[in-house]
Amino acid sequence: MQKITARVDRQATVLLDFMFWSNIFVLLFIVVVNAVNFARVNIGQTALLTTASPSLVLLVSLAIILYLAYNCFSSLAIKKRLNRVSVTVDEAGITGLSLPSPMTNDKGELFLVSFSQIETVSIVEIAITKKHMAPSLKIETAEYAFYIPAPEGLKELVRTIADQMGTK
């Protein structure tokens, strides 16, 4: 049997990159709008945003900036956790890092399972952000369930593991 090693699919990490950079772009846009707004008020012109006082606009903007900054750090933290995840299938069985909830600060669990211990192997959906689910590998033994979020070549992994389960 050929050794197969899979890391997290690039599509899942690109989603987190997109979230990070779009939040940075919006954050910078808010800063520029507020800077222009205050500059216009200070030189005696009318403000860009006239529906509320410049102080209120600044206060609301700061709240939005804090929210966007939190989302930026959150997406970077999730990406860092996902980049540690991998699974290897070889003659001895399956080794890897199980990460059932990438959104939490859970470090994950290293595991080594022989094919004879595996009861089921399936594809499940795991949340990688509040709004996005990723197809993931689930390996169940009598006592434990291991989750590998968004591995590349997921269907091939499931087929290979299922084939090896049948021969052992």
Considering the chain, what percentage of its residues have pLDDT values greater than 90?
60
Q: What is the mean pLDDT of the segment spanning 57-68?
A: 92
pLDDT of residue 151: 93
Note the helical H segments in the chain.
Answer: 10-42, 54-84, 154-167
How far apart CA 90 and CA 103 sit, in angstroms, is: 29
Note the helical H segments in 85-110.
Answer: none
Report strand pairing: 86-90 vs 4-7: antiparallel
DSSP annotation of 47 reads P
How far apart CA 143 and CA 70 sit, in angstroms, is: 37
Q: Out of 1.10.10, 2.30.29, 2.60.120, 3.30.40, select the CATH number for domain 4-8+85-167.
A: 2.30.29
> pLDDT, tens digit, for every residue of 41-56?
778 787 666 777 777 8
pTM of the predicted protein model = 0.82
How far apart CA 30 and CA 51 sit, in angstroms, is: 16
Query: Which position has the token pair 């290979």?
Result: 160
